[in-house]
Structure 1
Amino acid sequence: MFTSTAEPDLLAVAGRFAADPTGWPVALRFDAHQRWYARLAVGADHEVWALSWLPGQGTELHDHGGSAGAFLVVDGALTEETVSAGRLRPRRLAAGAGRRFGARHVHVVTNRDDRPAVSVHVYRPALTRMTHYRLVDGRLRVAEVAEAGAAW
């Protein structure tokens, strides 16, 4: 008998949660002052979050503290910017589009559209910290390290 020890595809996990928002343990909501987020599930090897984004809401330039991950746009559209050749390069992700990323991924995610967006994010291992950066003269500079339980 073959036993698989393969880790789950994080984008597929996001897709399972995105497929049924009515089954989430918390009700989706939107906050006019900041992005809303809630942890939907936590397991031995990953955790799942839902986020809502009103037009103009976004993140700072950040990493995931050594966690790999994926996110899937459930509704609306988000723009992800990653650093390449010392500049931020945008990529628009419409509903149904997703992205896998490794443990060293640094990005900004923003709702640049004129309607709300919803996304599901999965991290392996669970987030314990996130580092926020500034891009100065084409180089990443640490601005802050945020710890789980203190900053979110």
Structure 2
Amino acid sequence: MTALATQPLLDALRTHADDEELIARVRPPETGREFHLLRRDADVEVWLIAWAPGASTGFHDHGTATTAFTVLTGSLVEHNWLGGLQLADIGPGDARAHAPGHVHDVRNVGSLPALSLHAYAPRLDAMHHYHFRGDRISLIGAEPGRP
């Protein structure tokens, strides 16, 4: 994945990350995650996700979309499957970007809520879900992108 491929996504994240009013309006849920669509056009889709403590995505990919995300408040841990498990702590201002097909599980393992921004290009058309088996992952299902 090239910097050129992810630059529009990182730019979209920066645009919304500076919106303090947006951050102030969102109240994290008591359990799970809550999704807020911020932008959807022909090129990029941007979502704000509010995370309760203990919330997790489960292992998944984003279909054909290149992805980028950043944490606004709180912290998240990304479990990446790259032929083996790798962990990354992500705090406020940290950004991650991945090529299509990248499999990961993002979790709020802290005791406080978290807010994160996620950008997809092209728009999120599908997600594939996986079961982590310690030394491998296996596909368990697919779903279309969010409406």
* TM-score, normalisation: structure 2: 0.87
Matched, 1:51 2:74: no
Gap runs ≥5 in structure 1: 1-5
Deviation per CA, 1:27-68, whole angstroms, max 9, x where unpaired?
A: 423222320011111111110000011111110100001100
Structure 1 position 92 matched with structure 2 position 89: yes
Separation of aligned partners in 1, 2:83 and 2:129:
19
For 1:13, the equivalent position in structure 2 comes to 12
Aligned residues with identical type, % of pairs? 32
Whichever residue aligns with residue 121 of structure 2, its letter is R
Checking the alignment, whether the CA contact within 8 Å between 1:29 and 1:36 is kept in structure 2 is no
**Corresponding residue SS for 1:9:** helix
Structure 2 unaligned blocks of 5 or more: none
Q: Deviations over 1:81-120 (max 9, x none)?
A: 101343x221101111010111121100001111111000
Instruction: Specify the SS of the correspondent of 2:11.
Output: helix
Give runs of ≥4 in structure 1 deviating > 3 Å: none
1:60 pairs with 39, 58, 61, which one? 58
Alignment match, 2:30: 32
The equivalent of 1:146 in structure 2 is 143
Look up the match of 1:101. Answer: 98
Q: Once superposed, what is the RMSD of the aligned Cα atoms?
A: 1.9
Query: d(CA) in 2 for partners of 1:13 and 1:55?
Result: 26
Q: 1:137 to 1:100 in 2, by over 3 A?
A: closer
- Pick one of 69, 90, 94 that aligns with 2:67: 69
Match of 1:83 in 2: 81
Secondary structure of the corresponding residue to residue 48 of structure 2: strand
Q: Contact 2:77 / 2:109 at 8 angstroms: preserved in 1?
A: yes
Give SS of 1:12's match.
helix
1:116: which partner in 2?
A: 113
More helix by share: 2
Q: Describe the superposition over 1:105-142 as per-residue Cα deviations: whole angstroms up to 9, x where unpaired.
A: 11000011111110000000111210000123522211
Q: Distance in 1 between matches of 2:121 and 2:82?
A: 24
- Structure 1 length-normalised TM: 0.85
Q: Which residue of 2 aligns with 1:3?
A: none
Other structure's SS at 2:60 match: coil
